[in-house]
Chain A
Amino acid sequence: MSSLEYTSLEEIPKIREHLRASFRAGKALDVVYRKEQLLQLAYLIQDNTERLQDALYQDLGRPKHESNLFDLGVLLGECLYAYKHIERWLKPQSVPFNINWSAFSPRVYKQAKGTVLIITPFNFPLYCLAPITGAIAAGCSVVVKLSELTPSTSSLLAELFPKYLDPDMYRVVNGGIDENMKLLELQWDHSGGKVGKIVATAAAKHLTPVTLELGGKCPAIVDENADFEVAAKRLLWGKMVNAGQTCAAPDYILVVKGAEAKLIEALKKQHSNFYGTNPHTSSSFSRIISHGHWDRLSDVLKKTKGKLPGQIITGGDRVREEKYIAPTIVQNVTAYDSLMQDEIFGPIFPIVSVPSIDTAVKYVNDHDHPLALYVFSKDAKVRGHVRKYTNSGAVVENDVMMHGSMPALPFGGVGPSGYGSHKGQHSFNTFVYQRPLLYSPNWLDLLLSIRFPPYTDATLKKINGVALPTIPYPRPGEKGGISWQWPLLVVSAALIIYKQDAIRRALNV
Chain B
Amino acid sequence: MTSELVYTPVSELAPIRDHLNASFKAGKAKSIAFRKEQLLQLAYLFQDNIKPFQDALAKDLGRPVLESNMLDLSGIIGDALYAYKNIDSWVKPDKAPFDINWFPFSPKINKEPKGTVLIISPFNYPLWCMGPIAGAIAAGCAVVTKPSELTPATSQLITDLFPKYLDQDLYRVVNGAVEETTKLLSLKWDHILYTGSGRVGRIIALAAAKHLTPATLELGGKSPVIVDSNSDFDLTAKRLLWGKMINSGQTCTAPDYVIVPDSAQAKLVTALKVQYKKFYGDDPRTSGSFSRICATAHWDRINGLLAETKGNIVVGGEGIRAEKYIAPTIVQNVSFDDSLMTEELFGPILCIIPVPSIEIGLQYIRSHDSPLALYVFSKDSKFRKYGKYISLITSPPNILHNARSVRENTLSGMFFENDVVLQGGSSVTPFGGVGPSGYGAHKGKYSFDMFTHHRSSYSSPSWIDVIMGVRFPPYTDVTLKKVNSLVLPTIPYPRPGESAPFNWKRYVTFAVVFAAVAMNKQRITNFIKP
> Do chains A and B interact in one complex?
yes
Is there an interface contact between B398 and A24, defined as CB atoms closer than 8 Å? yes
Contacts of A498 in B (CB 8 A): none
Q: Does A258 count as interface, using CB distance less than 8 angstroms? A: no
Tell me, rounded to whole Å, the shortest Cβ–Cβ distance linking A414 to chain B: 4
Interface-central residue, B74, B212, B384, B417, by most chain A CB under 10 Å: B212
Cβ proximity bits B219-253 to A, threshold 8 Å, 1 near / 0 not: 10000000000001001001100100100000000
Is there an interface contact between B69 and A459, defined as CB atoms closer than 8 Å? no
Tell me, rounded to whole Å, the shortest Cβ–Cβ distance linking A465 to chain B: 10
Q: Does A313 count as interface, using CB distance less than 8 angstroms? A: no
Partner of B235, one of A435, A436, A442, A476: A442
Contacts of A264 in B (CB 8 A): none
> Bound state CA distance, A453 and B246, in angstroms?
9
> Bound state CA distance, A74 and B486, in angstroms?
11
Is there an interface contact between A475 and B40, defined as CB atoms closer than 8 Å? yes
> Bound state CA distance, A467 and B446, in angstroms?
21
Cβ proximity bits A29-55 to B, threshold 8 Å, 1 near / 0 not: 100000010011011011001000000
Contacts of B23 in A (CB 8 A): none
Is there an interface contact between B423 and A436, defined as CB atoms closer than 8 Å? yes
| Given the contacts A365-B25, A454-B287, A284 and B474 also touching, CB distance less than 8 Å | yes
Is there an interface contact between A204 and B279, defined as CB atoms closer than 8 Å? no
Q: Closest A-chain residue to B422, C-beta based? A: A440
Contacts of A453 in B (CB 8 A): 242, 245, 279-280, 287, 289-290
Cβ proximity bits B458-487 to A, threshold 8 Å, 1 near / 0 not: 111110110010011111000110011011
Tell me, rounded to whole Å, the shortest Cβ–Cβ distance linking A399 to chain B: 3
Q: Does B107 count as interface, using CB distance less than 8 angstroms? A: yes
Q: Closest A-chain residue to B460, C-beta based? A: A399
| Given the contacts A440-B416, A476-B40, A106 and B456 also touching, CB distance less than 8 Å | no
Contacts of B434 in A (CB 8 A): 111, 113, 433, 435
| Given the contacts A29-B401, A39-B493, A383 and B471 also touching, CB distance less than 8 Å | no
| Given the contacts A25-B396, A205-B202, A365-B25, A283 and B462 also touching, CB distance less than 8 Å | no
Partner of A98, one of B70, B99, B428, B459: B428
Contacts of B432 in A (CB 8 A): 433-434
Q: Closest A-chain residue to B384, C-beta based? A: A439
Cβ proximity bits A319-343 to B, threshold 8 Å, 1 near / 0 not: 0000000000000000000000000
Is there an interface contact between A463 and B70, defined as CB atoms closer than 8 Å? yes
Q: Does A196 count as interface, using CB distance less than 8 angstroms? A: yes
Partner of B70, one of A439, A451, A471: A451
Contacts of B414 in A (CB 8 A): 435-438
Is there an interface contact between B435 and A409, defined as CB atoms closer than 8 Å? no
Partner of A207, one of B219, B239, B279, B416: B219
Q: Does B412 count as interface, using CB distance less than 8 angstroms? A: yes
Q: Does A200 count as interface, using CB distance less than 8 angstroms? A: yes
Q: Does A363 count as interface, using CB distance less than 8 angstroms? A: no
Partner of B412, one of A201, A212, A435: A435
Partner of B480, one of A25, A46, A68, A420: A68
Q: Which of B92-110 contact A (CB under 8 A)?
A: 96-97, 99, 102, 105, 107, 109-110
Q: Does B429 count as interface, using CB distance less than 8 angstroms? A: yes
Q: Does A345 count as interface, using CB distance less than 8 angstroms? A: no
Is there an interface contact between B417 and A437, defined as CB atoms closer than 8 Å? yes
> Bound state CA distance, A129 and B115, in angstroms?
30
Describe B's contact surface by its main secondary structure: mixed
Is there an interface contact between B459 and A39, defined as CB atoms closer than 8 Å? no
Is there an interface contact between B462 and A394, defined as CB atoms closer than 8 Å? no
Is there an interface contact between B428 and A441, defined as CB atoms closer than 8 Å? no
Is there an interface contact between A68 and B488, defined as CB atoms closer than 8 Å? yes
Q: Closest A-chain residue to B75, C-beta based? A: A467
> Bound state CA distance, A387 and B93, in angstroms?
12
Is there an interface contact between A468 and B96, defined as CB atoms closer than 8 Å? no
Describe A's contact surface by its main secondary structure: mixed
Contacts of B455 in A (CB 8 A): 391-395, 414
> Bound state CA distance, A20 and B367, in angstroms?
12
Contacts of A399 in B (CB 8 A): 105, 458-460, 464
Q: Closest B-chain residue to A76, C-beta based? A: B488
Tell me, rounded to whole Å, the shortest Cβ–Cβ distance linking A475 to chain B: 6
Cβ proximity bits A452-471 to B, threshold 8 Å, 1 near / 0 not: 11110001100110111011
Q: Does A484 count as interface, using CB distance less than 8 angstroms? A: no
Among listed A152-160, A175-183, A274-282, A347-355, interface-contacting one: A274-282
Is there an interface contact between B471 and A227, defined as CB atoms closer than 8 Å? no
Cβ proximity bits B358-369 to A, threshold 8 Å, 1 near / 0 not: 000000001000
Q: Does B205 count as interface, using CB distance less than 8 angstroms? A: yes
Tell me, rounded to whole Å, the shortest Cβ–Cβ distance linking A190 to chain B: 9
Tell me, rounded to whole Å, the shortest Cβ–Cβ distance linking A327 to chain B: 10
Is there an interface contact between B27 and A389, defined as CB atoms closer than 8 Å? yes
Q: Closest B-chain residue to A66, C-beta based? A: B475
Q: Does A303 count as interface, using CB distance less than 8 angstroms? A: no
Contacts of B288 in A (CB 8 A): 454-455
| Given the contacts A438-B419, A475-B40, A204 and B206 also touching, CB distance less than 8 Å | yes
Q: Does B47 count as interface, using CB distance less than 8 angstroms? A: yes
Q: Does A398 count as interface, using CB distance less than 8 angstroms? A: yes
Is there an interface contact between B289 and A454, defined as CB atoms closer than 8 Å? yes
Is there an interface contact between A282 and B440, defined as CB atoms closer than 8 Å? no
Q: Does B319 count as interface, using CB distance less than 8 angstroms? A: no
Is there an interface contact between A387 and B487, defined as CB atoms closer than 8 Å? no
> Bound state CA distance, A284 and B208, in angstroms?
42
Cβ proximity bits A69-99 to B, threshold 8 Å, 1 near / 0 not: 1001110110010010000000000011010
> Bound state CA distance, A79 and B445, in angstroms?
30
Q: Does B162 count as interface, using CB distance less than 8 angstroms? A: no
Q: Does A406 count as interface, using CB distance less than 8 angstroms? A: yes
Contacts of B64 in A (CB 8 A): 455
| Given the contacts A98-B427, A284-B474, A464 and B487 also touching, CB distance less than 8 Å | no
| Given the contacts A74-B487, A409-B456, A471-B40, A463 and B69 also touching, CB distance less than 8 Å | yes
Is there an interface contact between A197 and B459, defined as CB atoms closer than 8 Å? no
Among listed B4-12, B149-157, B302-310, B403-411, interface-contacting one: B403-411
Is there an interface contact between B429 and A410, defined as CB atoms closer than 8 Å? no
Contacts of A197 in B (CB 8 A): 209-210, 212
Contacts of B20 in A (CB 8 A): none
Is there an interface contact between B190 and A415, defined as CB atoms closer than 8 Å? yes
Q: Which of A119-151 contact B (CB under 8 A)?
A: none
Q: Does A13 count as interface, using CB distance less than 8 angstroms? A: no
Is there an interface contact between A104 and B44, defined as CB atoms closer than 8 Å? no
Is there an interface contact between A284 and B473, defined as CB atoms closer than 8 Å? yes
Cβ proximity bits A362-399 to B, threshold 8 Å, 1 near / 0 not: 00010000000000000000010001010111111111
Contacts of B493 in A (CB 8 A): 39, 80, 83
Partner of B429, one of A106, A441, A452: A106
Contacts of A444 in B (CB 8 A): 419
Is there an interface contact between B40 and A467, defined as CB atoms closer than 8 Å? no
Is there an interface contact between B487 and A76, defined as CB atoms closer than 8 Å? yes
Is there an interface contact between A408 and B401, defined as CB atoms closer than 8 Å? no
Q: Which of A278-318 contact B (CB under 8 A)?
A: 282-285
Q: Which of A200-220 contact B (CB under 8 A)?
A: 200-201, 203-205, 207, 209, 212, 214
Interface-central residue, A74, A204, A214, A444, by most chain B CB under 10 Å: A204
Can you list 30 A-B pairs with a CB-CB distance of less than 8 A? Answer: A29-B404, A73-B483, A73-B486, A83-B493, A100-B426, A101-B428, A207-B202, A207-B205, A234-B460, A237-B473, A282-B473, A387-B110, A392-B455, A406-B102, A408-B96, A419-B214, A421-B454, A435-B412, A436-B415, A437-B414, A437-B417, A438-B415, A453-B287, A453-B290, A454-B279, A454-B287, A455-B67, A460-B69, A463-B66, A463-B70
| 4 tightest A-B CB contacts, nearest first | A73-B487, A440-B419, A399-B460, A204-B205
List residues of chain A with CB under 8 Å of any chain B CB: 20-21, 24-26, 29, 36, 39-40, 42-43, 45-46, 49, 63-66, 68-69, 72-74, 76-77, 80, 83, 95-96, 98, 100-101, 104, 106, 108-109, 111, 113-114, 189, 196-197, 200-201, 203-205, 207, 209, 212, 214, 227, 230, 233-234, 237, 240, 273-276, 282-285, 365, 383, 387, 389, 391-399, 402-403, 405-412, 414-416, 418-421, 433-442, 444-445, 448, 451-455, 459-460, 463-464, 466-468, 470-473, 475-476
